[in-house]
Amino acid sequence: MTEVVAALIWAGDSFLICQRPASKARGLLWEFVGGKVEPGETKEQALVRECREELNITVSVGEVFWEVTHTYPDLTVHLTLFHASIAQGTPELLEHNDLRWITVDEIPQYDFCPADQEILEKLREYRA
């Protein structure tokens, strides 16, 4: 099982999503910024590192929003989504194909990674 962390970053009524590069597994699907937890890292440390590497931002990590385990054909992930806020910087496209700030009502317009589906349902309930 691969431990993965991601950030739920809000700006008003919108939250940040990123489009995976075409060359990676699940290419061009949308996701929350984040990535794998490396050996010796806490989940919070991994999330700070991933946000810096992928978007050149520093985040403040808050409480866990939701956790989900999902099995893909090539791996099983345990995804922990944290509330987070941008402490420094403006998101830049360092690894992703695109990024967007979307509202909960706009979720159906985007094709997300399968592991995110349960989280998206919880977001709809959370913002209802």
pLDDT tens per residue across span 31-85: 999 999 999 999 999 999 999 999 999 999 999 999 999 999 999 999 999 999 9
Structural domains of the chain sorted by starting position, each given as residue range(s) with its CATH number in brackets: 2-126 (3.90.79.10)
pLDDT of residue 11: 95
Q: Are 105 and 31 a contacting pair, CB within 8 Å?
A: no
Q: Are 107 and 123 a contacting pair, CB within 8 Å?
A: yes
pLDDT of residue 127: 74
Q: Are 113 and 20 a contacting pair, CB within 8 Å?
A: yes
| For residue 87, pLDDT beyond 80 | yes
pLDDT of residue 45: 98
